[in-house]
């Protein structure tokens, strides 16, 4: 026994060292980014790329793989004591740096003109052209999901639902959000992310986008051009995909298995999931905000479509300013700057919970027409609060569990962490109406 | 108008208060408790120390809940109660009269007169204050000894491990919790404890706690004479009901505060619920003390009903409980005696992962209970089978309807059917393993 003890603490110390080295390398990579952004590496893009993206990724991988240390099981020890995870000085610093990055990316792209070159080697290889800021951002985004996805799998490897779900978001990001659009661009086809559905993809029906999709003439598939195919695909996702898939699986089929924003939240955002506010007040604010954004995007889109279909008859003076406002306030400020920049302060799903119109629609279907629910196992709950604490959507899961009531909440993205952290095996995500458990959906 | 005073804001007292409010919107309800202003989840204490949660996370109701429901909370100690003039006196000197009194005073940690048991850095785990003192006494600790192999002992092991403290765990039985768990389950848990790096000492009892000249613990000596040095000793050899207040107030007590099946004490308008109550059936002299979360909850409800003249008998119903042994989920339903054998139960254990299931049955092969480790079972289904006296064969055949593991978990049913068939004269067709991605995604019923 003592031998086992010393080996287990030996491994613990190895993993700690690995973790610390990883963090150091990651910080080194960040410093290289900063150095590059003032033009230090202008003449040596490959070196720049290796020192910044390369070293930071290696550092990230060391941190991620150290999550495989120790025995499989819930790994929340010390979460509330960590400055980085519980709004300590490190957390605030990370929040500020992330927010600053988004502000520069959206509104002061010139300041990043050298930094963006870190993605040049990859961009030339894939697309044969230099990186622009969105390619650069997409590359970092994808690497972040892959690296932190690995970490998430390590931490949750006792639970196959978590492993499969995370592999899914990693694959969707890499293939659909990153690789396919890059290839399309290399072939000089319209940029298209097949998994990005209106209304999350709010400019899908903008005239410039529709024009682009309908401008081609070479048939691609069943007499359709590639652009037309994309157009019909996008519409099919809205009218068939959303209701049908949500009926069978709940909104999780999108939010925690496919979506890019969700993918980032589930992986990069995982260390901050417990920072979501659980109060009734924030639930009220959530419903007001998310449905307001849904109304806004719907009105905006209806106007855009009317103008597109019949420009002679329809022209709305405020349509343009509405689009500008939406793009600035919702598309950039909310989903990017606040949505991700504030991860270490407000938790990982601020955008998904308070702003995303796609989540709003999926949530309505989930509440009203879906087989998805969270089943509560009889009277086993002892009100400990782990489920509510680790709910990234700020759902007070315990409030239902301690009453022994199965429930379906519009906002639930089906990440399954409540079930995973519950120390009494009280919660289970389910798609089917098992006759053995009373299925009573409640509003609380 | 009713004027109910409840002593103790644990789950029993608070559930009683909530149920009263549901049934009587005009009653005055006061909950007096010494430990904390607000009700919190006692089983969650360990997660505070381990940093999984913060104080605000372990309170099941938001702070404005109490005012909304007009439940007055008093954070104070009741020092005496006079059942003649129906008044309680608080440590602050204030008094409070009542028409109905509910004792929900919970329990305290057992100490069996071990030398050194009151030394510094020696403690049990029951209250919020215990967590606070554990925080200070383990701040510099790198070796600890835990005494007593029950549910709280293993929790304390897990807590200390989370801080990188090496733990020696003294257990009197031949395997961990062997007095409750049958041998195979107990062995599985014991192995799991070892895997986590705990130095588990079976069949070992504490003789004394050794202290230095400042009365600070420096180690223990076992009954075998072995000395183990450590700077923290956790005492987790069970708890006993808090009866002092009742005893001083001419309320009858045995091991706990004695109550009838209506949860009434010998004084008709005084009730006792939860850990502190000892329930006597008519004609018996030794009652049952139930020290569980859910029994406390149910007793609180019944007492509230009886205060509202519902004349409700307290009945425990079919036994259930759940726990987590470090990373091992444990569910139990009905009766599975520690002495279960192959002739009174079907036992299945997974070959390569830490999973097992025991289904106990009576002499007519009617199922009486379930034990599962590493597998979650559905409460309602198991309870129904036990209530119906379902046959073992039926239960094994329909086992998949009782599984509660997260989606995509390994399907254990075919293996369990195989182990049933190995010893049965009426074999069951082995179902195909539902392990493919698609069969998990779209369950066909
Ligand atoms: C660490 C730990 C883990 C546990 N885990 C589980 C579990 O997983 N599952 C399970 O079923 N059970 C578990 N239990 C047992 C369960 O918590 C108890 O059975 C339950 O809390 C008892 O509730 P209660 O309301 O009867 O008493 P308590 O929760 O003990 O509450 C009694 C309250 O009365 C107050 N009080 C006492 N005397 C006075 C006085 N004179 N004046 C004022 N106030 C007074 C105390 O301050 C205390 O707050 C656990 C217990 C512990 C200690
Ligand atoms: S984690 Fe489980 S036991 Fe704890 S409050 Fe949630 S459902 Fe109840």
pLDDT digits (tens, 9 = 90+) for A173-225: 999 999 999 999 888 888 889 999 999 999 999 989 999 888 888 887 778 88
As a whole number, mean pLDDT of residues A133-140 equals: 95
- What pLDDT digit, counting tens, does each position of A28-52 carry? 999 999 999 888 888 888 999 999 9
Cβ distance A5 to B409 less than 8 Å, yes or no, reads: no
Report whether A397 contacts A421 (CB < 8 A): no
Ligand located closest to A380 CA: 2
Which ligand minimizes its atom distance to the CA of A404? 2
DSSP notation for A368-418: HS-S-EEEE-TT------HHHHT-TT---HHHHHTTT--B--TT-----HH
Q: Per-residue pLDDT for B237 more than 70?
A: yes
Residue B383 CB partners (closer than 8 Å, separation 6+): A378, B318, B320, B333, B334
Chain A CA closest to residue B372: A425
Q: How many CB pairs under 8 A join A and B?
A: 155
ipTM score assigned to the predicted complex = 0.95
How remote is the CA of residue A410 from the centroid of ligand 2, in Å?
20
Residue A4: its pLDDT value, please? Answer: 42
* Pocket mutation for ligand 1, best pick of A378, A381, A382, A401 (most atoms within 8 Å of C-beta): A382
Sheet holding B199-201, edge to edge: B122-123, B232-235, B143-147, B166-170, B199-201
% residues pLDDT > 90 (chain B):
92
Contact A79/B at CB under 8 A: yes
Write phi, then psi, for A77 (nearest 5 degrees): -60, 130
Question: Does the pLDDT value for residue A11 go beyond 60?
Answer: no
CA distance A384 to chain B (A): 5
pLDDT digits (tens, 9 = 90+) for A219-242: 877 788 888 899 999 999 999 999
Closest CA of chain A from B44, distance in Å:
5
Interface touch A382/B294, C-beta < 8 Å: yes
Show which of residues 367-406 on chain B sit within 8 Å of chain A, judged by CB atoms: 376-381, 383-384, 401, 404-406
Q: Three-class SS of residue A350?
A: helix
pLDDT of A439 higher than 80 = no
- Whether B439 shows a pLDDT value over 70: the answer reads no
Cβ(B3)–Cβ(B31) under 8 Å? no
Q: What does B221-232 look like in DSSP terms, one character per residue?
A: EETT--EEE-SE
Residue B162 is nearest to which of A77, A279, A430, comparing CB atoms?
A77
Of the candidate ranges A68-77, A208-217, B178-187, B399-408, the one whose mean pLDDT is the lowest? A208-217
pLDDT at A171: 97
Asked whether residue B207 carries a pLDDT value surpassing 70, the answer given is: yes
Q: Which of A406, A416, A422, A423 to mutate to test the pocket of ligand 2 (most atoms within 8 A of CB)?
A: A422
Mean pLDDT of B178-206: 96
Render B185-246 in DSSP notation, one character per residue. Answer: HHHHHHHHHHHTT-EEETT--EEEEEE-TTSBEEEEEETT--EEE-SEEEE-S-EEE--HHH
Q: Which tokens sit at B246?
A: 């009742």
CA distance B281 to chain A (A): 25
Contacts with B264 (C-beta within 8 Å, 6 or more apart), sequence order: B270, B271, B306
Place of tokens 């690789």: A179
Distance B404 CA to ligand 1 centre (A): 28
Share of chain A above pLDDT 70, in %: 94
Report the C-alpha gap between A49 and B18 in whole angstroms: 62
- pLDDT grade for A390, boundaries at 50, 70 and 90: very high
Q: Which of ligand 2's atoms lies nearest the C-alpha of A421?
A: 1
> Residues lining ligand 1, judged by CB closer than 6 Å?
A 382; B 7-13, 32-35, 42-43, 45, 77-78, 104-107, 125-126, 152, 155, 242, 245, 274-275, 291-294, 296, 323
Please name each of the domains of chain A with its CATH number.
371-442 (3.30.70.20)
Length of chain B: 445
pLDDT value, residue A410:
96
B79 alpha carbon, closest ligand: 1
pLDDT of residue A433: 64
Query: What distances in angstroms separate CA B415 from CA B329, B366, B371, B390, one per listed residue?
Result: 19, 21, 17, 21
pLDDT grade for A315, boundaries at 50, 70 and 90: confident
* pLDDT of amino acid B417: 97
pLDDT confidence bin for B442, thresholds 50/70/90: low
Relative to beta strand B3-7, strand B206-211 is unpaired
Q: How far is B325 from chain A (nearest CA, A)?
A: 9
pLDDT at A217: 80
Whether the CB-CB separation of B383 and B367 falls below 8 Å is answered with no
Give the residue with greater pLDDT, B203 vs A13. Answer: B203
Mutation to test the B interface, candidates A415, A425, A433, most B Cβ within 10 Å: A425
Torsion angles phi and psi, residue A65, rounded to 5? -75, -20
Q: Is the dihedral of CA B206, B212, B217, B218 positive or negative?
A: negative
**A83 interfacial to chain B (CB closer than 8 Å):** no
Q: Which residues of A touch B197 (CB under 8 A)?
A: 4-5, 8-9
* Closest CA to ligand 2's atom 3: A381
Contact call for B54 and A434, based on CB within 8 A: no
Interface with chain A: mutation pick from B158, B376, B387, B435, highest number of A CBs within 10 Å? B376
Interchain CB distance below 8 Å, A80 and B324: no
Q: Is the Cα torsion angle B370, B371, B375, B376 positive or negative in sign?
A: positive
Task: Kindly report which listed range (A199-213, B49-63, B115-129, B354-368) carries the lowest average pLDDT score.
Answer: A199-213
Q: Is the pLDDT of residue A1 over 70?
A: no
CB proximity under 8 Å: B 117-136 to A: none
Q: Using a CB-CB distance cutoff of 8 angstroms, which residues of chain A are in contact with residue B194?
A: 1, 4
Band of pLDDT at residue A434, cut at 50, 70 and 90: very low
DSSP 8-state code for residue B405: P
- pLDDT of B298 higher than 70: yes
pLDDT band at B445 (very low <50, low <70, confident <90, very high): very low
Average pLDDT (A6-19) is 63
Give the per-residue pLDDT at A15.
Answer: 65
């Amino acid at each position: 026994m003592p031998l086992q003890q010393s080996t287990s603490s030996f491994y613990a110390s190895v993993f700690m060292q690995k973790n610390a080295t990883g963090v150091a390398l990651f910080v080194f990579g960040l410093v290289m980014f900063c150095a590059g952004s003032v033009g230090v590496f202008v003449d040596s893009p490959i070196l720049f790329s290796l020192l910044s993206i390369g070293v930071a990724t290696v550092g990230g991988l060391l941190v991620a793989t150290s999550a495989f240390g120790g025995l499989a099981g819930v790994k929340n020890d010390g979460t509330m004591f960590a400055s980085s995870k519980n709004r300590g000085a490190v957390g605030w610093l990370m929040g500020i740096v992330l927010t600053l990055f988004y502000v520069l990316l959206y509104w002061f792209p010139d300041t990043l003109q050298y930094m963006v070159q870190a993605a040049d080697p990859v961009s030339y290889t894939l697309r044969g052209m230099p990186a622009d800021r969105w390619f650069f951002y997409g590359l970092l985004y994808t690497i972040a999901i892959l690296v932190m996805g690995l970490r998430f799998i390590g931490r949750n490897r006792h639970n196959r639902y978590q492993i499969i779900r995370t592999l899914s978001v990693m694959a969707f990001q890499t293939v659909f959000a990153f690789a396919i659009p890059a290839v399309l661009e290399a072939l000089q086809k319209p940029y298209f992310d097949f998994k990005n559905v209106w209304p999350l993809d709010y400019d899908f029906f903008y005239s410039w986008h529709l024009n682009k999709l309908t401008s081609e003439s070479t048939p691609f598939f069943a007499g359709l051009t590639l652009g037309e195919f994309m157009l019909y695909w996008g519409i099919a996702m809205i009218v068939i995909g959303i209701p049908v898939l949500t009926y069978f699986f709940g909104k999780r089929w999108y939010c925690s298995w496919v979506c890019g924003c969700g993918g980032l939240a589930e992986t990069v955002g995982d260390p901050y999931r417990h920072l979501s506010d659980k109060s009734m007040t924030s639930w009220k604010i959530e419903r007001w905000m998310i449905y307001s954004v849904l109304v806004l995007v719907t009105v905006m889109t209806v106007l855009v479509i009317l103008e597109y279909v019949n420009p002679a008859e329809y022209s709305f003076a405020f349509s343009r300013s509405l689009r500008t406002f939406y793009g600035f306030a919702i598309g950039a400020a909310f989903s990017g700057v606040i949505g991700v920049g504030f991860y270490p302060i407000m938790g990982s799903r601020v955008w998904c919970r308070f702003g995303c119109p796609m989540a709003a629609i999926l949530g309505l279907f989930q509440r009203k027409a879906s087989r998805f629910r969270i089943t509560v196992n009889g009277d086993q709950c002892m009100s400990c609060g782990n489920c509510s604490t680790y709910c990234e959507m700020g759902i007070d899961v315990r409030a239902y569990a301690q009453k022994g009531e199965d429930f379906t909440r519009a906002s639930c993205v089906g990440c399954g962490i409540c079930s995973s952290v519950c120390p009494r095996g009280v919660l289970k995500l389910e798609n089917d109406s098992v006759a053995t458990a009373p299925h009573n959906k409640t509003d609380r | 108008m009713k004027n109910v005073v409840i002593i103790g804001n644990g789950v029993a007292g608070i559930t009683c208060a909530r149920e009263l409010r549901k049934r009587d919107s005009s009653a005055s309800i006061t909950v007096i408790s010494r430990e904390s202003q607000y009700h919190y989840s006692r089983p969650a204490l360990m997660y505070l120390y381990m940093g999984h949660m913060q104080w605000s996370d372990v309170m099941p109701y938001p702070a404005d809940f109490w005012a909304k429901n007009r439940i007055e909370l008093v954070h104070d100690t009741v020092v005496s109660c006079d059942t003649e003039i129906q008044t309680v006196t608080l440590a602050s000197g204030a008094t409070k009269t009542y028409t109905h009194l509910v004792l929900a005073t919970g329990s305290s940690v057992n100490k069996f007169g071990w030398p050194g048991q009151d030394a510094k850095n020696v403690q049990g785990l029951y209250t919020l204050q215990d967590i606070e003192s554990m925080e200070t006494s383990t701040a510099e600790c790198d070796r600890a000894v835990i005494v007593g192999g029950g549910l709280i002992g293993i929790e304390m092991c897990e807590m200390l491990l989370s801080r990188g403290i090496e733990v020696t765990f003294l257990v009197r039985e031949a395997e961990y919790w062997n007095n409750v768990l049958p041998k195979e389950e107990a062995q599985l848990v014991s192995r799991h404890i070892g895997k986590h790096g705990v130095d588990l000492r079976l069949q070992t009892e504490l003789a004394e706690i050794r202290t230095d000249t400042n009365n600070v613990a420096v180690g223990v000596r076992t009954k075998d004479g072995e000395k183990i040095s450590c700077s923290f000793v956790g005492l987790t050899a069970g708890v006993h009901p808090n009866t002092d207040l009742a005893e001083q107030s001419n309320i009858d007590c045995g091991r706990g505060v004695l109550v009838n099946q209506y949860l009434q004490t010998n004084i008709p308008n005084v009730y006792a619920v939860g850990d502190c109550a000892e329930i006597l059936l008519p004609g018996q002299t030794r009652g049952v003390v139930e020290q569980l979360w859910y029994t406390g909850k149910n007793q609180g409800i019944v007492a509230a009903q009886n205060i509202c003249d519902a004349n409700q008998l307290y009945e425990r119903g079919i036994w259930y409980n759940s726990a987590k042994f470090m990373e091992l989920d444990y569910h139990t339903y009905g009766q599975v005696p520690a002495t279960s054998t192959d002739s009174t139960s079907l036992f299945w254990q997974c070959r390569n992962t830490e999973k097992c299931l025991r289904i106990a049955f009576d002499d007519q092969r009617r199922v009486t209970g379930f034990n599962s480790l590493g597998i979650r079972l559905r409460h309602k289904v198991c309870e129904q089978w036990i209530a119906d006296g379902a046959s073992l064969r039926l239960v094994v055949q329909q086992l998949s309807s009782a599984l509660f593991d997260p989606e995509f978990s390994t399907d254990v049913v075919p293996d369990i059917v195989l182990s049933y068939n190995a010893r049965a004269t009426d074999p069951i067709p082995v179902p195909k393993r539902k392990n493919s991605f698609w069969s998990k995604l779209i369950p066909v019923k």
